[in-house]
Structure 1
Amino acid sequence: MSKVTNLNQVRKARARDEKRVQADRNAVSFGRSKAQKAEAAAQAAKATRDLDGKKRT
């Protein structure tokens, strides 16, 4: 005989897992120091400048 599954518990467990994944993503995005954020912004700006400099006219 199969095991009885409480669907409410399954639904809540899935929601908890999704929140945990989102929290991990936010920790990566927002849990950085000011210097790290500035460095990432500088790298993105340089990549944009480099790409714009290689465009054909």
Structure 2
Amino acid sequence: MADIIQFSKERKNAKESRKRRERLEKEASAAANRVRFGRTGTEKKAAKLEQARQARLHEGNRREPLDKPDADKSDAPDQD
């Protein structure tokens, strides 16, 4: 007598194994991208904040503020 094959069970197992395989491939790809592109979001945010702090310090140490649009004209002596 022939064995009864449960196609729905085989189909379910095949689908689960395919999903498992795809999930593992995505996980491997994500790990490779983490290594490849490096920094985490927290590290990027910290670097951005540090860069902003350095820019403020640099601007704070200027001799003349950049707010004067005609600074070169006002400092020139009057010529008649």
Please, what TM-score do these two structures have when normalized by structure 2?
0.40
What's the offset of the Cα at 1:33? 7.1
CA RMSD of aligned residues (A): 2.1
**Runs of 4+ that moved beyond 4 A:** none
Where do 5+ consecutive residues of structure 2 fail to align?
A: 39-80
Residue equivalent to 2:29: 29
The structural deviation recorded for 1:32 is 4.8
3-state SS, counterpart of residue 31 of structure 1? helix
Unaligned runs of 5+ in 1: 40-57
In 2, distance between residues paired with 1:38 and 1:24? 20
User: Structure 1: which amino acid aligns with 2:7?
Assistant: L
Tell me how far 1:2 sits from its aligned partner: 2.8
Aligned match of 2:10:
10
CA deviation string 1:17-52 (max 9, x = no partner): 100110110110113574x1226xxxxxxxxxxxxx
How many matched pairs?
A: 38
Which structure has more helix as a fraction of its residues? 1
Normalised TM-score (structure 1)? 0.53
